Structure 1
């Protein structure tokens, strides 16, 4: 859906982000090694030619462990991706280099903070600030990168205050990541990761281990609703960001409307789910809802009135 002027840059940045995520998630490799490979991968975006010498070592270590064929092909084609990166305008290279200097911090935070990979080694964030920092690293910075890139290439956005809108873009990304966190709560718990800060749990008389018991959901619900409200407040900023886009930027509007509205549909289901703490249950908006949202917004040309009315109804159903 993105404008042609930024499609290649955004697409390539996405592939680099997926590659970094694959490095972090290759469980068959020791945690310390994965952290080292993440550092080496960041260095691929350095202007130093010597930094590229580590790429083959990363590929040799990781490719044999990829069960997913798409991730294996991506790692195999990283040299091609970097060749395309080298052909970009220096300013675009700098924007992607900035993103790949920040985004892997979230993956490194996962590897460093959550030392285990199962419920037996369950660890939680210690403060709300940690959660906020994490959501910035893994998603908020993407909103900042996105804003810088489109403002550089879309003439209709030349009057945007890039600094101000980048900060709002950060909120947008954080809202989407918080949605993912509450949606995937049970599965993450069974992977040893509790993104819910312990102080919030203590206020409800809970510990991270208690969340492994499905019967803890009624007691946990006030904490859950607080997290959902935080996500909604961030997404409200994302909606303001979307409505600030020029009306003729229909592709950008739709590219922003869809994730916000689908996040709202997901949060509505998370808030009402009776089995949220069951890791076998996948709480998400069904395809019929996805198609409805896409059709409604597309057929109305990204109309702000229609989209805002939909978002407003969703909010009332959630909080």
Structure 2
């Protein structure tokens, strides 16, 4: 009989595999801390398999598709869970770092905790993690980024769907939220955070012959493309601010969780806009900056006017391109139509 992981052990895993989310998730209301921590670990399990440097690509694709289907069907098949767990352990045994392998080892217990949640919460996690895992399998099958549409679809599967998952959870927590409008902004919110990481890690990705921007193989258009996508990314982060302002001011924990994440992303974009596109591979905001952003975010988060002023101040000087978040979601989202 499989047993669920306890809350403290779940949070220890979170701390071990993501310092950023271990910092921001505890800002949420208590129930959401549990649900979103669990959701992050489910996503990280899939990500650990996808990123394993030593596992065979065809085996990773097969596992991710099977895991996606298992999640889509509500995490309920215990025999399938045991099979997926054994396969995952075998796949990442030689390539995963210790903390990630520990998470894979606890995979059945993490999912057993998922099964204890209310049906609506479990269904949201089921849908989100299923889409994300399938997207990862498709990425491994070969992702050629030729234009902005390709970037949008790639970002949707690894981050836009997470924005949708968060929006759905926030609505279940507080039905005063305009669910339709929050969902409309959620994909742009997720893409802004993902594009920040793509831009920040571009040179590291290049070393492993990966590229998630439409940059030519000879790199001749790299500077132009990076500048273009810095502006596109800031436009998405502007939508992320609108996402936050849709949430009632009394939900200060949810707002702070979102605001600090986009504030750190915007600060990173500012550094990137001032960096050498060809050479700077260690662009990262300092711990002191994170601390300052946290203090300021906490001061303004309960007031929409102050929140807007704060975001305007930290993003000043960064060019932005405004896109239509409704059109983006209608074009890329699978949330209402699972791709099976």
- Kindly report the root-mean-square deviation, in angstroms, between the aligned alpha carbons of the 2 structures: 1.9
> Equivalents in 1 of 2:207, 2:95: separation in Å?
22
> Equivalents in 2 of 1:185, 1:66: separation in Å?
22
Per-residue CA shift, 1:41-64, capped at 9, x if unaligned?
224333444422422432441352
SS of the equivalent of 1:299 reads helix
Q: How much does 1:193 deviate?
A: 1.2
1:130-279 matches, within 5 Å, as 130-154=150-174, 158-197=175-214, 201=215, 207-210=216-219, 220-274=222-276, 276-278=277-279
Q: Relative to 1, partners in 2 of residues 1:10 and 1:28: Cα closer, same or farther, differing over 3 Å? A: same
Does the CA-based 8 Å contact 1:194-1:208 persist in structure 2?
no
Q: Structure 2: any 5+ residue segments left out of the alignment?
A: 1-26, 320-340
- Flag as ranges the 4+ runs of structure 1 deviating above 4 A: none
Partner of 2:285: 285
Q: Relative to 1, partners in 2 of residues 1:38 and 1:316: Cα closer, same or farther, differing over 3 Å? A: same
> Equivalents in 2 of 1:2, 1:181: separation in Å?
26
> Equivalents in 1 of 2:210, 2:62: separation in Å?
21
Of 56, 74, 80, the match for 1:30:
56
1:114-133 matches, within 5 Å, as 124-133=144-153
> Equivalents in 2 of 1:191, 1:180: separation in Å?
16
Report the TM-score, using the length of structure 2 for normalisation.
0.80
Does the CA-based 8 Å contact 1:109-1:134 persist in structure 2?
no
Q: Relative to 1, partners in 2 of residues 1:223 and 1:181: Cα closer, same or farther, differing over 3 Å? A: same
Matched, 1:75 2:75: no
SS of the equivalent of 2:49 reads helix
Q: How much does 1:148 deviate?
A: 0.7
> Equivalents in 2 of 1:125, 1:143: separation in Å?
22
Q: Relative to 1, partners in 2 of residues 1:100 and 1:173: Cα closer, same or farther, differing over 3 Å? A: same
Q: How much does 1:71 deviate?
A: 0.5
Partner of 2:38: 12
Matched, 1:112 2:141: yes
> Equivalents in 1 of 2:303, 2:181: separation in Å?
24
Per-residue CA shift, 1:223-277, capped at 9, x if unaligned?
2221111111111111011112111111111111111111111111111102x33
> Equivalents in 1 of 2:36, 2:139: separation in Å?
24
Q: Relative to 1, partners in 2 of residues 1:172 and 1:68: Cα closer, same or farther, differing over 3 Å? A: same
In terms of Rg, which structure is larger?
1
SS of the equivalent of 1:160 reads coil
Report the TM-score, using the length of structure 1 for normalisation.
0.85
Does the CA-based 8 Å contact 1:188-1:194 persist in structure 2?
yes
